[in-house]
Amino acid sequence: MIPGPIEVEPAVLRAMGEVTTSHVAPNFIESFGNSLELMRKIWLAPNGQPFIIAGSGTLAMDMAVCNLIEPNDNALVISTGYFGERYKNILETYGANVTVLQADIGSTVSLELIEKELASKSYKLVTITHVDTSTGILNNPKPIAKLAKKYKTLSIVDGVCATAGEETNQENWEIDIVLTGSQKAIGVPPGLALLVVSENAMKIWKERTTPVQNYYGSFTNWLPIMQAYENRKPSYFGTPPVNLIKALEVSLSIINNEGITNRVQSHISYACAFRKAIQKLGLHLVPKHDEIAANTMSAIYYPEGIDPTSFRKDIAEYGVILAGGLHPEIKNLYFRVGHMGSITKSDLVATLSAIEFALKKQNYTFISGESVGAFLDNL
């Protein structure tokens, strides 16, 4: 129950375990092409250009930037935690002039402040962390993307801990790039960088006046590959991770059959009930308001007097694995629970039971079973 890599469906694991075929075998070409088409449906971007690349979510972040930024372009980072800082570092690697709007821990950056900054000078792009895995903060990309459009600025949404778990309507919201990694709500083992690029962003990329300063991540090398596989033709630049892409096709099909709207609503329902359960125990979330709390994960402060190491050890003894803190300023003050992908009521009941078990061992005062009761009452 960590915020990635997550548990995956048995059918996805079976696809991972199939005999590895050639990357130009007809059955693999079909899987790759179908996966690209399914991404458009999950991202709600019928005219976008999908990319499936061997790599982590950080590679997807890197590709989104390196193909659009040219030296001395201005870039704005909306930061709500650790991964906003990462985007700053990536942008500076490619010569961008970076401005960071940093939210206080547990808060978001106001739309008024974002608009004021966008109006102050010409920005090439703005990055938005949809869910920051270090704080559990949920940003709403829709109004930020609207502001970006108003000021002729490209919008990049880091959806690593959000896509397929939080509401995202890329084309309708006019977001230029939405990216993620396979190991989060997409529900596939780690190893795939996934992004969908708008027609507008592809046009900007084609019009750039300097070469892309990244060989492996350049659209120049990967676009012909994606186009070929979608047209059910073999092609080669770098050997694709055959079994991972077969597994991706299975997971995307599961999500698409459920319906992305239904899948997102399921995440919201479980997350709301889980937050009520946590609050029933007297515990506090890192996000200061429920409206900005992620639906794919929860960041929860330890109660006063609790030993973090013993707490997580006791939870592991119960049979549940949670994550410690990641944000450097509060790393030892909180823990994180992932609740994304194909989770069930049983998964969350077991997690709450484990949390109660660990709290009881440290003599924290509460009524046994009340978190589980609150969770079930609020579903």
User: What is the tens place of the pLDDT at every residue in 214-241?
Assistant: 999 999 999 999 999 999 999 999 999 9
User: What pLDDT is recorded for position 274?
Assistant: 98
Mean pLDDT along residues 82-102? 97
User: What is the tens place of the pLDDT at every residue in 99-157?
Assistant: 999 999 999 999 999 999 999 999 999 999 999 999 999 999 999 999 999 999 999 99
User: What pLDDT is recorded for position 21?
Assistant: 95
Mean pLDDT along residues 11-17? 97
Q: Which two tokens stand for residue 6?
A: 């997550």
Contact between 211 and 58 under an 8 Å Cβ cutoff? The reply is: no
User: What is the tens place of the pLDDT at every residue in 325-346?
Assistant: 999 999 999 999 999 999 999 9
* pLDDT confidence bin for 95, thresholds 50/70/90: very high
User: What pLDDT is recorded for position 336?
Assistant: 98
* Mean pLDDT for all residues in the chain: 97
Distance from C-alpha of 10 to C-alpha of 307, rounded to nearest angstrom: 36
Mean pLDDT along residues 261-276? 98
Whether the bond into 26 is cis, omega within 30 of 0: no
User: What pLDDT is recorded for position 97?
Assistant: 98
**Can you give the three-state secondary structure of the chain, one letter per residue?**
CCCCCCCCCHHHHHHHCCCCCCCCCHHHHHHHHHHHHHHHHHHCCCCCEEEEEECCHHHHHHHHHHCCCCCCCEEEEEECCHHHHHHHHHHHHCCCEEEEEECCCCCCCCHHHHHHHHHHCCCCEEEEECEECCCCEECCHHHHHHHHHHCCCEEEEECCCCECCECCCCCCCCCCEEEEECCCCCCCCCCEEEEEECHHHHHHHHCCCCCCCCCCCCHHHHHHHHHHHHCCCCCCCCCCCHHHHHHHHHHHHHHHHHCHHHHHHHHHHHHHHHHHHHHHCCCCECCCCHHHECCCEEEEECCCCCCHHHHHHHHHHHCCCCEECCCCCCCCCEEEEECCCCCCHHHHHHHHHHHHHHHHHCCCCCCCCHHHHHHHHCC
User: What pLDDT is recorded for position 337?
Assistant: 98
Question: With a threshold of 0.95, does the pTM exceed it?
Answer: yes
User: What pLDDT is recorded for position 313?
Assistant: 95
User: What pLDDT is recorded for position 145?
Assistant: 98
What structural domains does the chain harbor?
Answer: 10-258 (3.40.640.10), 260-377 (3.90.1150.10)
User: What pLDDT is recorded for position 80?
Assistant: 98
Distance from C-alpha of 56 to C-alpha of 216, rounded to nearest angstrom: 13
Distance from C-alpha of 364 to C-alpha of 281, rounded to nearest angstrom: 10
User: What pLDDT is recorded for position 110?
Assistant: 98
